[in-house]
Amino acid sequence: MEKVLLYDTTLRDGSQAVGVQFSVNDKVRIAQHLDALGLDYIEGGWPSPSNTRDLGFFEAMRETPLRHAKLVAFGSTCRAGKPARDDEQLQQLLACGVPAVAIFGKSWDLHVTHALRITLEENLRMIEDSVAYLCGQGVEVIYDAEHFFDGYTANPDYALRTLQAAERGGAAWIVLCDTNGGTLPGQVRDAVRAAKAAVSTPLGIHAHNDSELAVANSLAAVEDGARMVQGTMNGYGERCGNANLCSIIPNLELKMGFAGLPEGGLAHLYTAAHFVAEVANMTPPSREAFVGMVAFSHKGGVHIDSVLKLKRSYEHIDPALVGNATQLVVSDQAGGSSIVDRAARLGITLEKKSDATRELLAQLKEAEHEGYEFEAAEASFELLLRRGLQQFAPPFDITDFRVIVGARVTAECSLSDGIIGQTSSPLALSEAIVRVNIGDKEEHTVASGDGPVHALDSALRKALEPHFPELRGIRLTDFKVRVVNVRAGTAARVRVLVESTDADGNTWSTVGVHENIIVASLEALRDSLYYGLRFAPTVV
């Protein structure tokens, strides 16, 4: 099968979505997960002195190089009136030490004359000079033709000349961008054909979703010759988002006959989509095609009756191909193969039709009904399985806890001073008290912290470390909170996701759910320590 290269820009374009905010550690985790999925390119961000997070990401990736994908740094062409060799921004791209860089330039004459306020010829010079300089430094250059489709509509001759400038510079790929997301599939086809006639450099497509056509436009471009598709996981991106790779990839492989992910990779797409959503602290995909939790759910009686007889009567693909599963909402039948597969990845053997598997599946469904999400909390999922199989004995039990949160008000400030922008605020105080049983011994400890979760963590460690000195090497590295049932207002249930790491650099995540954020946090912390004590030596 002919190959279409998959270029992920979740960490750069996706992070521009309202509500998405990645830490350096988030970006490293997502990059590693997408690399394991089998994507060809992973764009890490736009490194610049003002963007310390992306600089930190590229620095961190020096210690954790990708195994399959090429890591890409993103930037723009050189500034007007300056040779590319003297452009500080291009130097910063090279300093990242990545094998490929992507730079964008202007294709729409409107942007050249009104936004950059330069001549059309100077813009062509900037494109060719920038691409040529970067190529001369030994990196693969992907040229993003920004606003290409709008530019082609307004001034087709000039838009194509910008592509030819990138080709003269030696670009490995020229990517046609529907930056405003307003192009229709037929217009995409016409413009791609014109671009293919104008240059011999391989073409790619980068579509935004402002007209709900990013996936359709991407597939249309592939049908007319594009062999690289840029997009994001779950369609995250500016405004209405980017082209959703979670829809594009299975359509390419299952409907159009192109090779995308490595063999077997497609079956992990569901897990990858939900993992990225959890790390991004966004609602996991629900009704999205292919990877949504209800994408293959059946509620109507006629549908259920037919699916029980012949699944393809109401399913356009076998959901297992993308790692999803059929759900029959009324009879609640389905999911056994999914849990067996996930257990096998953890070294746990289950039989699909065994009583143990049915019981575990019931426990999993009940937990998910309560608001638990295990895609990005693999340690909690393993603990759930081992508890259900009676393969886990807790090394300690928390029998009682209290958390006191207050504030010390001084003469210089009041409680109302804690508003953003004020120079003074009351001193917040948090204190935790825990009772822990370890075998036949009880520990009763008190600790303070920067906040209630920190105080709980400190009190637990104070009780446990004399008995389990290995806990000194385990630390909490990330903490996320998301409301599960928003309509309940201040009584809503919350989901807490905790990430921990040990002295050897092993990382795992646990989850807790409760109406009380402190209880949810304690559950996630407790399971994190359970996992660290019992399983951390084998984490990979």
Here the CATH number for the domain that contains residue 166 is 3.20.20.70
Task: Give the pLDDT confidence score for residue 379 in this predicted structure.
Answer: 92
Is residue 204 located within the same domain as residue 327?
no
Is residue 528 located within the same domain as residue 489?
yes
Task: Give the pLDDT confidence score for residue 123 in this predicted structure.
Answer: 98
Is residue 301 located within the same domain as residue 262?
no
pTM over 0.85: no
Is residue 242 located within the same domain as residue 312?
no
What is the distance of C-alpha 458 from the center of its chain? 30
- Judged by DSSP in three states, 352 sits in coil
Is residue 43 located within the same domain as residue 149?
yes
Contacts 24+ apart (CB under 8 A), 408-411: none
Is residue 214 located within the same domain as residue 309?
no
Is residue 156 located within the same domain as residue 256?
yes
302: Cα within 13 Å, side-chain hemisphere: 0
**Which structure tokens are listed for 490?**
């201040």
The answer, yes or no, to whether residue 22 has pLDDT greater than 50, is yes
In a domain? residue 343: no
Given 250, 279, 308, which residue is the final one in a domain?
279
Task: Give the pLDDT confidence score for residue 414 in this predicted structure.
Answer: 54
Please, are residues 1 and 258 in contact by the beta-carbon 8 Å criterion? yes
Task: Give the pLDDT confidence score for residue 530 in this predicted structure.
Answer: 95
- Judged by DSSP in three states, 85 sits in helix
The answer, yes or no, to whether residue 225 has pLDDT greater than 90, is yes
In a domain? residue 16: yes
What contacts 536, CB < 8 A, 6 or more positions away? 474, 502, 504, 506, 508
Domain count, the chain: 3
Angstrom distance (rounded) from CA 80 to CA 135: 19
Is residue 303 located within the same domain as residue 235?
no
In a domain? residue 251: yes
Across the range 289-302, mean pLDDT stands at 85
In a domain? residue 356: no
**What separation in angstroms does the CA of 265 have from each of 260, 321, 333, 377, 430?**
9, 9, 26, 20, 46
**Domain of 491: which CATH number?**
3.30.160.270
Q: What is the largest CA-CA distance in the chain?
A: 82
Question: What are 104-149's pLDDT values in tens digits?
Answer: 999 999 999 999 999 999 999 999 999 999 999 999 999 999 999 9
Is residue 321 located within the same domain as residue 454?
no
**What separation in angstroms does the CA of 476 have from each of 172, 443, 502?**
42, 22, 9
Angstrom distance (rounded) from CA 431 to CA 433: 7
Is residue 35 located within the same domain as residue 162?
yes
Task: Give the pLDDT confidence score for residue 509 in this predicted structure.
Answer: 92
Q: Which helix (H) or strand (E) holds 25?
A: helix 24-37
**Structure confidence at residue 373 as a pLDDT band (50, 70, 90):** confident
Domain that holds residue 483: 397-538
Is residue 202 located within the same domain as residue 304?
no
Is residue 312 located within the same domain as residue 419?
no
In a domain? residue 353: no
**Which structure tokens are listed for 210?**
């402002």
The answer, yes or no, to whether residue 338 has pLDDT greater than 70, is no
Average pLDDT over the chain, rounded to an integer: 90
